[in-house]
Structure 1
Amino acid sequence: MSYRSNLLPALLAASALLLSPAGHAADNDSISVIDDTDREVRLDAPAERIVSLAPHITEVLFAIGAGDRVIGATDHSDYPEPAADIPRVGGYTSLDLERILAKEPDLVVAWDSGNSRSHIERLRELGLTVYVSEPRGFDGVASSMERMAELAGTAEQGRAEAERFLDEIEALRQKYADRDPVPLFYQVWDQPLMTVNNEHLIAEAIEVCGGENVFGHLDRLVPRMDREAVIHADPEVIIGGGMGEDNPAWVEAWREWDNMLAVRRDNLFFLPPSLLQRHTPRIAEGTAMMCEELQTARDRRPDSP
């Protein structure tokens, strides 16, 4: 993977159109980027009052050096620690539009698959500038960091953090490139039971570690299923998050099915959900933990040296 060749060409194209030969943006130094829904987002100057509409967006804004510009965030925006002090504007599925408007933001950063589409459109109708985020892969996470940093006026830090993130992922990819594949089931939620297909960001973490997603072929990004389907698939490993950063109850519940390969070999692994289920640079840390667990499963094979 090459960092410079994989970032979204749309961002580069937009920047090329806006920059003059002297290196300054046209139209009175306005800033323009393309968001993850292919819409142009333009600001006359770097955003100074930002509202974040999802916990992972809040985290990314801090990572790119724009945390002090976030004046509103949704519930559960808990990382890094200063994020807990940001005034709330509702939950990501239950936004308080009046509260958002009262903040008078010059930029709202929304989550395409998490926020209500009608809420996003209503914010635009009310005259707010909205950037919509929906990264599907590691390159997308890095590119989104860069584009948000452009809008916030922290482009240099955004580029540095994006490159550091991709370097970490590439190191893991190289380390585990030749390891034997490990069939696994990744549990996103318990009731209803949910997993991810191969288009999801978590699936790229699985691939980097040499895992094989047993439900990767399904059409839906986050498929729902019954336990019988998982039992029939009989994965070698079950990995999941839970209702908190240190609550492995969902994964431990699989021990009831002691005929499953993952249970017989004690390959039931809990990973803190914020490290894999949020689209942030910390997914590199979660991926490293997943890779270590899959290697543990390889070492537990009867024919392992």
Structure 2
Amino acid sequence: MTRRRLPGLLLLLLALLAGLIGPAAADQICAIDDTDREVCLADPAERIIALSPGATELLFAAGAGERLVAAVEHSDYPPEAKALPSVGSHDRLDLERLVALQPDLVIGWVTGNPAEQVERLERLGVPVFRIEPRAFEGIATALERLARLAGSEAQGRLAAERFRQGLAEMAARHAGAPPVTVFYQVWDSPLMTVNDEHLIGKAVTLCGGVNVFGGLARLVPRIDEEALLAADPEVILAGGRGEQNRSWLEDWRRFPKLTAVARDNLFLVPPSLLQRPTPRLLEGSRLLCERLEVARGPR
């Protein structure tokens, strides 16, 4: 008789345990990162460290700036980000200082941080949420997911909605624009550009531009001057060091027969507006579109 009742008692005990354990698991705060890993927290993160300037900017935009306790070098936007303690550069983290700050969440950069250092953090029990948006929608999604983990969901949703709306308006404004061939210079030595899968490449397409190196396999490929001369773009855009250094563009004047040079279609775009996957990419894209409109007009 006792033996027959034992399975029933075990089932009852398991059900009770499930009742105790289930709600705790259900109460976890979870989000999928850009490597398709699910990161779960028991409570909203209160001590966050950002391992890229872009992540820092996204967290502030998502309403989680007050929860940041540190960031990497060059985290300079918004202005209050400059006051955050540094944990090294994005490609050489100061793990000792980082761990000493006792973060309950670290926002990593998929391809920008040393994998072995990030994995070491995880072995120490530090949750790492990796991001690297590769499309405009990925920026909106990152805002929502970061806000969820930080407990600022309302602000994150609002920021994401504003970004999506701004993107839709820009796409409608430039739909059907006459195509113009473009070369975007990321760096000068070695000479580097982007393909169509890069966010900058997508911004060029959004504005009605045709990236002359858009079909290359690498996201940020190296090229040589001969390849550029053969492509003969109508427009050359440069980022890299920014407005304070026009030497990149002036160097192309060595080739007066280059179409972009002959038409004086040499333009700078502030790199922080295009080279970081943040809501400010819309501002950078607007500037890019304006440059292409100038190039389309009579010169």
TM-score (normalised: structure 1): 0.89
> In the alignment, residue 141 of structure 1 is paired with which amino acid?
I
Which of these residues, 125, 138, 141, is aligned with residue 140 of structure 1?
138
1:240·1:270 contact (CA, 8 Å) conserved in 2? yes
Counterpart contact for 2:195–2:211, Cα < 8 Å: yes
Q: Out of 202, 213, 216, which is 1:215 matched to?
A: 213
Match of 1:153 among 151, 154, 175: 151
> Is 1:246 paired with 2:244?
yes
Question: Which position in structure 2 is the counterpart of 1:15?
Answer: none
1:128 pairs, out of 105, 126, 129, with: 126
Contact 1:51 1:73 (8 Å CA) reproduced: yes
SS of the aligned residue for 1:259 comes to coil
Distance in 2 between the 1:26 and 1:225 partners?
A: 54
The runs of 5 or more residues in structure 2 that have no matched partner are: 1-22
Once the 2 structures are TM-superposed, how far is the Cα of residue 190 of structure 1 from its aligned partner?
Answer: 1.1
Aligned equivalent of 1:5? none
Looking at structure 2, the residues matched to 103 and 28 of structure 1 have their Cα atoms a distance apart, in angstroms, of 29
Alignment-mate amino acid for residue 158 of structure 2:
A
Partner of 2:71: 73
SS where residue 297 of structure 1 aligns?
helix
1:1-305 → structure 2 map (5 Å cutoff): 27=25, 29-300=27-298
Q: How much does 1:26 deviate? A: 6.0
Deviation at 1:28, TM superposition (A): 5.9
C-alpha spacing 1:300/1:173, structure 2 compared with 1 (3 Å): same
Q: What CA deviation, in whole Å up to 9, does each residue of 1:185-237 have, x standing for no partner?
A: 01111111111111111111111100001001000010011111111110000
RMSD (CA atoms): 1.2
Percent of matched pairs sharing the same residue: 55
Aligned-residue offset at 1:245 = 4.6
**Aligned length, in residue pairs:** 277
Correspondence for 1:16: none
Deviation of 1:252 (Å): 2.4
Deviation sequence 1:16-68 (CA, Å, 0-9, x none):
xxxxxxxxx86262100100000000000100000000011101111111111
Q: Distance in 2 between matches of 1:201 and 1:114?
A: 15
Counterpart code for 1:277: Q
Contact 1:54 1:110 in 2 (8 A): yes
Larger Rg: 2
Query: For residue 116 of structure 2, what is the amino acid of its counterpart?
Result: S
